[in-house]
Structure 1
Amino acid sequence: MTTTSSGGEPAPAIADREIVISRVIGAPRELVFEAFTRVRHLSRWWGPEGFTTSTRSFEFRVGGEWDFVMHGPDGTDYQEWITWREIVPPERIELLHGESHDDPNAFESVLTFESAGEQTRIVMHTLFPTRELRDEAVTKYHAIEGGEQTLRNLAAYVAELTRNEPTPNEPTQDEITRNGAES
């Protein structure tokens, strides 16, 4: 497969360097986007099954960084780092992800959030610097299964958020506590 650049000359194929994972999530796009962009949410669902996440620093803005550690179920810690390259709420996030800000093997990801009524289709398009790095991510780190599990965790977390939202006429816990204290 060859694509053509704007100058008419052949551009190198990227299919052998990419992974694309998508999922439809039963929640509005704004909520799914928020769950992906607020550290208080990310720490609750980020990563494959059995992993937990500890954030060292987080600044969600273009040029901002997320410095974190993923803790594997076997006790292995994985140093991670993301910088946000483009943010278009609630439609798109472009990021660079590696072990540190100077990681030569860092990969690019573009996440799109497509509204489908009360559902959201999220697409994670990841591009690695080389085919070999992509293949290593797939075989050694199970990137495809891990990405699918991560989006499944996001879907479950957002479902929990929507179940716990009060209905328009239902009082919030703060209102219940405040009203109870006033009685």
Structure 2
Amino acid sequence: MSKPSKTASSPWRDWPIDREIVLSRVIDAPRSVVYSAWTDPNQIQEWFGPEGMTIETREIDLNPGGTWRFDMIARDGARYASRMVFLRMEALALIEVEHGSDNENDPGKFRMLITFDEQTDGKTVLTLRQMHPSKTRRDTVIGFGAVEYGGQTLKKLARHVARVTSR
């Protein structure tokens, strides 16, 4: 079995594994539908974020170089100002973003690589990789529930896609 290729232009090439969080989910929908849920401004706002969180968007441009600025709002009204900058998008294959608080100098900002792989049965394997700036930061976000919250987000995506495909 050959190893996946890593291009010289990608920061994923030499990223230390102890800074990474990897989440994966099989979604019962074609890759084009799952990819659209990430790239359609109306759809992403419906499902993104952990259970119990809603999204309030301030700016959204889901294109390479574009920015999505939004608040995640908890049930208790707490607001978490967030920003994603879309670095690279390859239609139906991958999306790479920089994600963090809506602060220019956010020391906890991290990269995300989302890949979409269609299986022969029409389902999509979505893999979300996070690259954190340090092992300490990775350990911190795991400690406050990043893996669980990421799993909840992917579960919400799967429910959203099921609704879209049943229409």
Residues 136, 14 of structure 1: alpha-carbon distance in 2 compared, 3 angstrom cutoff: same
In the aligned structure 2, how far is the partner of 1:12 from the partner of 1:93? 19
TM superposition score normalised by structure 1: 0.80
RMSD between superposed Cα atoms in Å: 1.6
Match runs of 1:124-143 below 5 Å:
124-140=128-144, 142-143=145-146
How far did 1:15 drift? 2.0
How far did 1:16 drift? 1.7
Structure 2: runs of 5 or more not aligned: 1-7
Residue number in structure 1 paired with 2:42: 40
**How many percent of aligned residue pairs carry the same amino acid?**
36
In the aligned structure 2, how far is the partner of 1:12 from the partner of 1:88? 21
Match runs of 1:138-157 below 5 Å:
138-140=142-144, 142-157=145-160
In the aligned structure 1, how far is the partner of 2:26 from the partner of 2:107? 33
TM superposition score normalised by structure 2: 0.87
How far did 1:101 drift? 5.4
Structure 1: runs of 5 or more not aligned: 1-5, 165-183
How far did 1:73 drift? 2.2
The structure with the largest alpha-carbon Rg is 1
Equivalenced residue count is 154
The one-letter amino acid paired with 2:66 is G
The one-letter amino acid paired with 2:89 is I
Residues 63, 76 of structure 1: alpha-carbon distance in 2 compared, 3 angstrom cutoff: same
Q: Which ranges of 4 or more aligned residues in structure 1 deviate by more than 2 Å?
A: none
The one-letter amino acid paired with 2:133 is P
